[in-house]
Structure 1
Amino acid sequence: MSDKVRAKKHLGQHFLKDENVAQRIADTLTLNGYKNVLEIGPGMGVLTKYLLKKPIATYVCEIDTESVVYLQAHYLQLSERILEEDFLKYDLKKTFHDESFAIIGNFPYNISTQIVFKTLEMRDQIPEFSGMFQKEVAQRICAPHGNKTYGILSVLTQAFYDAEYLFTVPPDVFNPPPKVDSGVMRLIRKENFTLPCNEKLFFRVVKTAFQQRRKTLRNSLKTFNLSNNLKEDAIFGLRPEQVSVQGFVDLTIKIANDAI
């Protein structure tokens, strides 16, 4: 058995080799409101070893068999808490039941946005989420309205979490180095993370608005068959990136009332 795991392109693996960066990512956890943390894609455990020093139960989710064998050999205290699973398909309730847990990781770029969407679906159990993305994706998640990168991911995430871009990581701290910079960001769930509107409708309004992001809401939301009276509202003259999260909540309430 080789003492190193080969990075596999199809899994989007770029192994972090810088201990300082690993420590900094582990230290983004506030440890508030949960006793468990799940690391996604631990690889050879460079981040894992810093998580194991914290007063928290560390679980790892790894789809790569070679990495799992490596972790079992080098991190004996993890043995019962290695989930050899595809994070996107695995039912996390099998492991955590109804307990809260944080998510952390040096996320594979090819599935990073899907990881965020799954977190949003499980937001009642995930008070905190932090980790490394492609820099542009991390910036997009944290972008304020009015910013050209503000989009579906920004609005849906910031509806339930406070998002903060923490620091940038250059390609040379990885093996193999990716072609882009990486960015570490953190999400801390809002104290009140239920929306005062129909959440399914909210998701639909946001996604429909941004599908034609250059158009005003009056044009992009035509499929909702809104009354002429409602379409006179000033918000319909705006393009979606000009509308804050609260603005989309208010808009969803107006659309729901318009249908009555």
Structure 2
Amino acid sequence: MAKSKAPKRSNAASSSPYDRPSKQAKQQQAANNIFKFNTSSYGQHILKNPGVADAIVLKANLKPTDTVLEVGPGTGNLTVRILDKAKKCIAVEVDPRMAAEVTKRVQGKPEQKKLEVLLGDVIKMSTLPEFDVLISNTPYQISSPLVFKMLAMPHPPRVAILMFQREFAMRLTAQPGDSLYCRLSVNAQFWARCTHIMKVGKKNFNPPPQVESSVVRIEPKVGSERPNVSWDEWDGMLRVCFNRRNKTLRASWSSREVLNMVERNYRLFCSMNNIPLEDGIAEDEEEEENEDMDVDNVGPSAGDEDEWGGIMEVDAEADDTPSFFQQLNAAGSEMPKTKSKKQKTKVAALVRNKIRKVLEDVTDLGKERAGKLDEHAYLKLLFAFNAEGIHFA
């Protein structure tokens, strides 16, 4: 009886779980990494270049007594370098898988006692532990919220070394007149000194993002240098000025939605300070809906479309523009501008006159455009509005 032929070995993967994996299977497993990175929801692009990681920590000038807050530690490539230089590192991570990975990386080592991992969204945290330095390979989706959260802190860190999308970094350091100059530029440079440190290419990340990146050094102003201005007041005024950055300030402040908002705030201010108001219908006054038109403005600009430098090819940041501005932008271009026969109240007429006085008589900034003014001009504008009883907080 003839013997049956033994089956030939093949390089294909065997169905038996006890078979030794082939070299090809090992390479495939290594390529797939431990788990799939979540680039859509969490913006997980892990910095894999050790030279860039060393440079980021070096630029922070860490002291042995420093406590560092790291946002989005990922697998811990920056974390281990921070722990080598600082007293303590507080890592805030939203992904439980990453939190476990960075914890496992220092498990059983002396650095384990110096690391504290907080699981959660840093933007939604009402309070943060005290820290001296902020370091982050920042997820693109939280770039502007993270910057504003840090600058609005009563006691901001000594310095922040943050990785951003290239365009967002350029907006942080843009000067008046630049195409990328926006509300973010004014706020950041009013409350801190911002310096571009270095460019970082796509290939330095795993997986590579679809945009280039840059590292920025932000040094919040403290002590006597810190502006003695309410953050809500300052930012509230800038929201109106930069709602349409290529229009004149007079046009930006004459839209019906802005006038209604200012009137509500003025009524509240008078009520809180026991200032009597003469209400009623103003004589021979008609409210015109076309007063926010600006003949010098010809079409939208790049700055109008996305003031914050939203992430291309990646989930853009949430629009924090007030809802009444969003409604205006959505419907304003489609509906014809017509006069309204609605009569204005005396308070509305008073508020309109106060705005005109501030823009034309006191500051003479009515014909200027938001993208051309520096922080000193906006500070002058805020003080003039406050002197007239107009507030934004």
TM norm. shorter chain > 0.5: yes
1:189 corresponds to? 220
Distance in structure 2 (CA, Å) of the matches to 1:208 and 1:157: 17
Once the two structures are TM-superposed, the CA of residue 259 in structure 1 deviates from its matched residue by 3.0
Residues 16-51 of structure 1 show CA distances to partners (whole Å, capped at 9, x for unaligned) of 11000111111121347x821111101111111111
Q: For 1:103-182, list aligned pairs within 5 A.
A: 103-182=134-213
2:133 corresponds to? 102
Are the aligned partners of 1:38 and 1:60 in contact in 2 as well (CA < 8 Å)? yes
1:219 corresponds to? 251
Distance in structure 2 (CA, Å) of the matches to 1:151 and 1:242: 10
Distance in structure 2 (CA, Å) of the matches to 1:28 and 1:178: 23
Distance in structure 2 (CA, Å) of the matches to 1:227 and 1:14: 47
Q: For 1:59-74, list aligned pairs within 5 A.
A: 59-74=90-105
| Aligned equivalent of 1:88, options 109, 120, 123 | 123
Residues 124-178 of structure 1 show CA distances to partners (whole Å, capped at 9, x for unaligned) of 2323211101000011011112211111111111111001111110001111111
Distance in structure 1 (CA, Å) of the matches to 2:35 and 2:93: 13
Distance 1:126 1:155, change over 3 A: same
Once the two structures are TM-superposed, the CA of residue 120 in structure 1 deviates from its matched residue by 1.9
* Structure 1 segments unaligned to the other structure (5+ residues): none
Q: For 1:22-101, list aligned pairs within 5 A.
A: 22-31=53-62, 35-76=66-107, 77-78=111-112, 81-93=116-128, 96=129, 99-101=130-132
Distance 1:65 1:200, change over 3 A: closer
Distance 1:139 1:78, change over 3 A: farther
Q: What value does the CA root-mean-square deviation take over the aligned residues? A: 2.1
Distance in structure 2 (CA, Å) of the matches to 1:180 and 1:198: 35
Distance in structure 2 (CA, Å) of the matches to 1:236 and 1:197: 23
State the identity %. 28
SS at match of 2:216: strand
1:241 corresponds to? 371
| Aligned equivalent of 2:240, options 186, 201, 208 | 208
Distance 1:78 1:116, change over 3 A: farther
Confirm or deny that 1:257 pairs with 2:352.
no
SS at match of 1:211: coil
Confirm or deny that 1:6 pairs with 2:36.
yes
Are the aligned partners of 2:152 and 2:231 in contact in 1 as well (CA < 8 Å)? no
Once the two structures are TM-superposed, the CA of residue 115 in structure 1 deviates from its matched residue by 1.0
Distance in structure 2 (CA, Å) of the matches to 1:151 and 1:56: 37
2:291 corresponds to? none
Are the aligned partners of 1:198 and 1:253 in contact in 2 as well (CA < 8 Å)? no
Are the aligned partners of 2:68 and 2:86 in contact in 1 as well (CA < 8 Å)? no
Distance in structure 2 (CA, Å) of the matches to 1:92 and 1:5: 31
Q: Partner letter of residue 4 of structure 1?
A: I
Distance in structure 1 (CA, Å) of the matches to 2:242 and 2:214: 24
TM-score between both structures, scaled by the size of structure 2: 0.61
SS at match of 1:235: coil
Once the two structures are TM-superposed, the CA of residue 235 in structure 1 deviates from its matched residue by 2.0
Distance in structure 2 (CA, Å) of the matches to 1:230 and 1:68: 52
Q: Partner letter of residue 231 of structure 1?
A: L
Over 4 Å off, 4+ runs: none
Once the two structures are TM-superposed, the CA of residue 247 in structure 1 deviates from its matched residue by 1.5
Give the total of aligned pairs. 254
SS at match of 1:236: coil
Distance in structure 2 (CA, Å) of the matches to 1:114 and 1:230: 31
* Structure 2 segments unaligned to the other structure (5+ residues): 1-29, 263-351
Q: Partner letter of residue 40 of structure 1?
A: V
SS at match of 1:178: coil
